[in-house]
Chain A
Amino acid sequence: MPLETEATAEIRALVADLRPDDADMLEALHRVQHRYGYVSQEAMYVIADQLRVTPAHVYGVTTYYSDFRTTPPPEVTVAWCGGPACRLKNGAGIRDAMQAVLGIELGEDTADGRVGLVAGQCNGSCEQAPQVWVGERVVGRLTAARAVTLARALRDGADPASV
């Protein structure tokens, strides 16, 4: 365990009530990601220490799940719904259009750290298909043209709440 710093002390406080062998790993990772936006190497060490497992184990778990990040998040994340109802309504075209505008693929962030694109999972609001999530907010009944406009606006610094 590396030396305790102010940062690690803060993380330690965040997970202080979690116990080894008590089904707490996902909770620890969620808390850290909620607080910092990602799970840093430091945090992995603290969690490992707290739950009495190896840092390698924590790293393995963190990277196994698609919802945990190991790098700081972009300013705004666009999650593209990869589900069937969206696919029927040109979901693939919407993905391709956004990727082309942003110059990145699903799972990547723009070089300036402004916008990230990720694959999202259908959550059963399929009446909105085809849709994306901008942050937490659903932008539904999209067309590829609207997706282009949306991606351009985000790329150019628009307020995510306004697109």
Chain B
Amino acid sequence: MSDAYDALRERADAAWAAWQHPERPRIDIAIETSSLAGGAGDTLRALEAEIGRRGAAVDVGRVHGYGLQWLQPLADITWPDGTRVLYGPVTAEDVGLLVDEATGLVGAAANLAVGTLSGRRTGIPPIADHPFLAAETMGRRLLARIGHTDPESLDHYIATGGYFALDRMLSRHQDPASVRQLMIDANLTGRGGAWFPAGMKWNFLAGAAVEERYLICNADEGDPGGWVNRVLLEGDPHLIVEGMLTAAFATGARHGFFYIRNEYPLAVQRVRQAIADATAAGLLGDNILGSGFSCTLEVIRGAGAYVCGEETGLISSVQDGRGMPRVKPPFPAAAGVFMKPSNVNNVETYANVPLILRNGAEWFRQAANPAGTDIGTKIFSFSGDIARVGFMEVPFGVPLAKIIEVCGGMVGGGKLKAIQAGGPLAGYLPGSLLGELSLERAPFSKHSALMGGGGIVFIGEGSCSVDLNVMFSEFLEEESCGRCTTCHHGNQRMHEVFSRVAAGGGRNEDRHNLELVGSSLAYSNCVHGQASPTIMRNTLRLFEREYEAHVAEHRCDALRCAGMTRFRVADQSDPNLPAARDICPTGAIKGEPGAFEVDDSLCIRCGACTDLAPRGLVREAAPLGTAVPEQRVPKPPGVPAAAGRVPLSFQTTVIARPEGGMGGPPPFRR
């Protein structure tokens, strides 16, 4: 150990001991993106006010939420004896109970208790026994500090073993090649979705002919429904800093960029803070811990472009330009940022590095899927129609059925219709495959899908596959950088076709045309274009009947597609009908109590009326010939309708049986 590290450790240990055994009780509020969305800011303000009002002998601290996001805002109390209990949801109204509990009124907040984080309390089980965490069979490795430490505290990071491995590596003058080999031995693969061995990529960079070279941490996490990287960035930023430093040492890079998406402002703030604190402590910058090794890091904030997550798009973006993916080769290891050799890894890939350096390859490999092909643990985020939304860290190979169970099942006990893993490029699989699927690569690829970077969305019966394809194809179109005609036009076409099908104008040849678009997308430059047709193909193959019902029978069984459904007054006696009439944004509900009617040609199928009068109004399958509004956005008088952005679909006026219908001429003979 270096003297510099020992000194840091001594200070950190003292701070950590005081955090674990505070002189007076401390209430920590989870402060991160999800808790803030749930009102943690209000909770914090109310708590501070309540403590001030009472003059209570209680302190306030900050943590990252433990992962049980449906219970946000999460909070915990630490007592001087080291007992620590997690509570949630703690709203601004509940803070009095927490202050009561903290100051000795045992049981005051018992109804909000989730589990003990340390020590024991009668009647409150340890957090590890929480059913949501039952799949975390290897414990938390990457998430070890989440919910325990203050993410903005360098002391907490160091006291819990942080920068230990880095210091050991530097003070022993370890051979950089052996660090790279260690990552290969551990079988650490890229967590950004491509699973390329990290150590091999590092070897490419280490072997570069040019001295000036760069590291990049890909924190663009653009897949909707995935927030694995966010948790690490906001919850344990120093872990990634240490991972980047280790990679820099191993590859000869002396400067690194964090590229963080603009949607994560708190992550930007915390990583910047971590860099500043580490620099001030001599852990970053010149002559790190007196070892002679130097490295600097900086944060670049993205600006809302999905393809900047693609590594060459990211490089273009860092390089002062439009973030358009480039043609490979040259690969980043040959010509990356400013055409200098560069290495891009995902946040979670870097986060694993200090753990492997500290605990060894063997330890890392203890966590694996049964087949031994996917090594390590992985953080996943789960959302959709499940009772418990949140994130957890599991070894690869956990059956998805188990995950649904720990997530509390489908909301309202409904059935699982589909699984959407890994974002808009990765796939869309039917719920009937649930028994075959587990959190590892092979079962997904068997069905021409991908597991992706860790976001998993469970979709219930109430949703429609065509409608979801409208959403995904719109995203893909919107996010195409525009370089390749196949990609920008192909995705535009795909979006148009699905929108038209959803609007009730599906044609027999659409299916063939979608397949055709799919095959031409293969000729796109980057994976954005190449993988764009994945969900569409999964849908046509695995949800064939549902798709065909839309086109051939004009039927949306989920009653989601605007062009095949209508709203109708079903029960004139519902006293909420006047409220429904008043909420209707288009004035489509006409008439008087006892004789209300919905004007189909005005109704945009938004559902506001059934929110208020679920008995009086129903959404039902629309008979052929039902009118739909000319435009989705009715303009107030005098304002011309915006051209261009109105999807084709909504220019249809009357639902007619698609030309050709069921028994029409086969595609391409016309």
Residues of A in contact with B (beta carbons under 8 Å apart): 21, 23-27, 29-30, 51, 53, 57, 60-61, 64-68, 82-85, 87-88, 90, 92-94, 96-97, 99-101, 103-108, 111, 119-129, 131, 138, 140, 143-149, 151
Q: Is the CB of B33 within 8 A of A121?
A: no
Q: Is the CB of B301 within 8 A of A26?
A: yes
Known: A64-B323, A84-B383. Contact between A127 and B69, CB under 8 A?
yes
Interface size class of B (residues with CB under 8 A): 35 or more
Known: A124-B33, A144-B607. Contact between A23 and B337, CB under 8 A?
yes
A125 to chain B: closest residue by CB: B37
Q: Which residues from B are CB-within-8-Å of A92?
A: 467, 471, 560
Smallest distance from the beta carbon of A75 to chain B beta carbons, Å? 18
> Is B332 an interface residue, CB under 8 A from the partner?
no
A140 to B36, CA, bound (A): 11
A147 to B584, CA, bound (A): 11
Instruction: Please report which residues of chain B, range 356-390, place their CB below 8 angstroms from some CB of chain A when the two chains form the complex.
Output: 381, 383-385, 389-390
Smallest distance from the beta carbon of A93 to chain B beta carbons, Å? 4
Q: Which residues from A are CB-within-8-Å of B384?
A: 84-85, 88, 126
Q: Is the CB of B471 within 8 A of A101?
A: no
Q: Is the CB of B611 within 8 A of A84?
A: no
Known: A100-B633, A122-B225. Contact between A84 and B303, CB under 8 A?
no
> Is B257 an interface residue, CB under 8 A from the partner?
yes
A29 to B586, CA, bound (A): 39
Known: A104-B633, A121-B304, A138-B37. Contact between A148 and B471, CB under 8 A?
no
A136 to B486, CA, bound (A): 36
Q: Which of B11-19, B153-161, B455-463, B543-551 touches A? A: B455-463
Instruction: Please report which residues of chain B, range 603-659, place their CB below 8 angstroms from some CB of chain A when the two chains form the complex.
Output: 604-609, 611-612, 632-636, 639, 642, 645-646
Residues of B in contact with A (beta carbons under 8 Å apart): 33-34, 36-38, 69-70, 72, 222, 224-227, 230-231, 257, 261-264, 298, 300-305, 317-324, 337-338, 381, 383-385, 389-390, 420, 457, 459-460, 462-463, 467-468, 471, 474-475, 478, 481, 560, 583-586, 604-609, 611-612, 632-636, 639, 642, 645-646
List 29 A-B residue pairs with CB atoms under 8 Å apart, sorted by A's residue number: A21-B320, A23-B257, A29-B303, A64-B481, A65-B302, A66-B305, A67-B262, A68-B303, A82-B224, A82-B474, A84-B225, A84-B383, A87-B463, A96-B604, A97-B585, A103-B635, A103-B636, A103-B639, A104-B642, A106-B645, A124-B33, A126-B225, A127-B383, A128-B38, A129-B383, A138-B37, A140-B37, A145-B608, A148-B583
Smallest distance from the beta carbon of B310 to chain A beta carbons, Å? 14
A145 to B583, CA, bound (A): 6
Q: Is the CB of A121 within 8 A of B468?
A: no
Known: A23-B319, A27-B300. Contact between A96 and B605, CB under 8 A?
yes
A84 to B384, CA, bound (A): 7
Q: Is the CB of B608 within 8 A of A147?
A: yes
A81 to B34, CA, bound (A): 14
Q: Is the CB of B34 within 8 A of A127?
A: yes
Q: Which residues from A are CB-within-8-Å of B323?
A: 64-65
Smallest distance from the beta carbon of A33 to chain B beta carbons, Å? 9
Known: A82-B471, A103-B634. Contact between A93 and B303, CB under 8 A?
no
Q: Which residues from A are CB-within-8-Å of B298?
A: 23
Q: Which of B302, B586, B632 contacts A26 (CB 8 A)?
A: B302
